[in-house]
Structure 1
C-alpha cells in the first residue's frame, strides 16, 4: 500500500500567495499596468492614428492613403484589444522541485504565475492554465473542478479560463497546491494542450526550466506562436550553470531517482560542466528564438520580480521605438 503524495500545507500556501500578491501589487501596480492586452503589449486589432514609418515597422501596416498625400511613408497604428484571454502552461515536473538560491524553482513558477495573473486579470480579461507534473504524459488531461488538482502520475490538468479576481485567486491556489510527481514530464504535451482546442488570438505563457530535449517542445511552441503572442519564462538555478568546489557531492536526478557522486574538487570537471551547461542554455535560447517566443530568464538566486519589471519595461520601450525584439 502506497502512502498518498504529500501536498503543501494549505495555511502555508495561503501565506505564500498573500505575500506574493503584496509584492506584486507594490512593485507592478501603476508601473506596468496599462491599456495593453496582457503582459506583452501587442499591436492590437482596432485602427488608430497614423505616424511616420520607422525602420523595423511592419510593412503590412503601411497607411497608403496618408503616404500618398504626404509623400512620406506612414504606418497605421492599432489600438490594443481591451479584452484578452491569457493561458499559462506551468511545468511542475520533478526537475522543478529543486533550488539552491533564495527560492525553489517551483516557487519561482508560482511567483511568475502570480505576477502574470496580476498583469492580465483587469478589464474583464480571462486567464486559464494547464499544469503538467512528472510521471510521463500518458494520462489524459483532467478538467479542474475546484480545490487542488488531482494527484497521479503524468497528470495534465486544465484550469478553465475565467475572469475576475476571485477566480484568478482560485487558480493560483490550485497551482500552489499542485503536488509534484516523481518521473519525467512531457513539456511538448503540455504546450500542445494550449493548441487544442483552437482558441481566439491571445497570450500564451509557458513557464518551465526547458530541460526536456528541445525537439520535444520546439515544434508545439512554433505552432502556438502562429496564433498567439508567446512568452517563454525559463527558470534557472545557479547550480545548473556551474558546480561549486565542495569535494565529493552526492546528487540525485529528481526525475529518474538515480544517485551519483561527483568529485567537484576537479577543476577540469567543473569547467566541462560549465561549458556543457552554457551550451545547453544557448540551445534552449536558440530554440525559443526560432519559435518566435519572447524569452525571459528568472533565477532562484535573484530578485525575480525586478527581472520581470525590467523585461516588461524593455518590451514596451521596444514597441514604442517600432521594433519587436
Structure 2
C-alpha cells in the first residue's frame, strides 16, 4: 500500500477528539515505519550547515578554515587567529504553516492540509530527541496561531493537534503567508531551522520576509500540491470557484486552456523555487497523488549527498 493511500484525513479541522487522536496515531506510525532505519542520526541533515555559534578566538593552525579568520584579533596581536565554533547541542525548529482555505482543497481523497500536516510530522520525527524543540506559527488569513517552541513527545503531539484543528479563514479571506513569516521574524528567535509549509499559490508578496528569515535560520520550503494545481483534466465546460476569494467563473476547458494553465502553473512554481533559492533554502515538493514519504526520503538523501560533496 502506498504512503498516499495510508495518509489519514483530518477533515479540515472538523474531527472530534477520539477521531483526531486515532488519525494522528495512524500518521505517526506511518512516518515511523518508513523513516526509522532509513534516516538515522541526530540533526538528520535536511539542510546542510554547520549548526554552530561563534566561540573564542585562538591562534591559527595549519589546516584551519581561512574563512574563520578573526581579523580584529589578528591585527591587535600581530599573530593570525581564527574564531572557534561551538556546536549547538539543541536544535530549535519553527514551522510556518499555511492553513488558508486553499489548503482544504483535494481531488484524490485527501486535502493539501492533510499532506501539510504529514510533512510537519515527518520533519518533527527527523529532528526530535536530544532536547530539540519545535514551535509553530499557523496562519489562516484572518488569524495567526502561535505554538511556543518546547521539547518532548507530548508537546510535539500537541503541536500537530493544533495544526490539525486550526480552522480555515472566513469566506472571502485570502491567505497571508507573509504575516506568518513576519511573526517568526519578530521577535528574533535563536538560530535554528525554519520550515515553511504551503501550496504557495497566489502572489509572491512574502519574498522579503523569507530572505530575512533565511539570513538568520537554516531554511526549508515544503510545497504541497494537488494534481489540479498543476494541470486541468479534459472536462469541457465547468464552473470553478476560488476557495479563498469565493469568486466563481465559468470556463470551457479546451486543449488551449489546458496548455495555458499548465504553462502558468509551471512558471509560478519556478518562481517559488527561485525565491527560496535566493533566500538560501531548498524546496521539498510533495503531491497528494504521489508517495509523499518516498519523496521525503529521496529529498533528505539528496541533501545529505550534497552536504557530503561539499
Give me the TM-score of the superposition, normalised by structure 2: 0.83
Aligned equivalents of 2:218, 2:111: Cα separation in 1: 28
1:258 is matched with 247
Q: Deviations over 1:113-168 (max 9, x none)?
A: 1111111121110100000013xxxxxxxxxxxxxxxxxxx110110011001111
1:240 is matched with 229
2:97 is matched with 90
* Helix, strand or coil at the partner of 1:296: strand
Say which of 170, 186, 191 aligns to 2:158.
170
Say which of 12, 18, 26 aligns to 2:33.
26
2:290 is matched with 302
Structure 2 vs 1, CA of residues 6 and 78 (structure 1 numbering), >3 Å: closer, same or farther? closer
Q: Which runs of 4+ in 1 moved over 6 A?
A: 50-53, 76-79
Structure 2 vs 1, CA of residues 309 and 239 (structure 1 numbering), >3 Å: closer, same or farther? same
Aligned equivalents of 1:7, 1:16: Cα separation in 2: 12
1:14 partnered with 2:4: no
Aligned equivalents of 1:41, 1:28: Cα separation in 2: 19
Aligned equivalents of 2:31, 2:285: Cα separation in 1: 18
Aligned equivalents of 1:52, 1:206: Cα separation in 2: 37
Aligned equivalents of 2:221, 2:187: Cα separation in 1: 20
* Helix, strand or coil at the partner of 1:293: coil
Structure 2 vs 1, CA of residues 297 and 249 (structure 1 numbering), >3 Å: closer, same or farther? same
Instruction: Report how far residue 98 of structure 1 moved.
Output: 0.5
Aligned equivalents of 2:93, 2:296: Cα separation in 1: 17
Instruction: Name the count of aligned residue pairs.
Output: 280
* Helix, strand or coil at the partner of 2:119: helix
1:116 is matched with 123
Instruction: Report how far residue 39 of structure 1 moved.
Output: 3.8
The farther-off stretch of 232-241 and 5-14 is 5-14
Instruction: Report how far residue 312 of structure 1 moved.
Output: 0.8
* Helix, strand or coil at the partner of 2:197: strand
Q: Is the 8 A contact 2:230 2:262 kept in 1?
A: yes
Q: Is the 8 A contact 1:88 1:205 kept in 2?
A: yes
Q: Deviations over 1:248-306 (max 9, x none)?
A: 22211000111222211x11111111111111111111111111111111111111111
1:192 is matched with 182
Q: Is the 8 A contact 2:199 2:223 kept in 1?
A: yes
Aligned equivalents of 1:196, 1:231: Cα separation in 2: 19
Aligned equivalents of 2:13, 2:94: Cα separation in 1: 27
Aligned equivalents of 2:35, 2:114: Cα separation in 1: 19
Aligned equivalents of 1:114, 1:165: Cα separation in 2: 12
1:144 is matched with none
Instruction: Report how far residue 8 of structure 1 moved.
Output: 2.8
Structure 2 vs 1, CA of residues 6 and 242 (structure 1 numbering), >3 Å: closer, same or farther? closer
Instruction: Report how far residue 36 of structure 1 moved.
Output: 2.3
Structure 2 gaps of 5+ residues are: 1-11, 56-60, 70-82
Aligned equivalents of 2:147, 2:182: Cα separation in 1: 15
2:42 is matched with 35
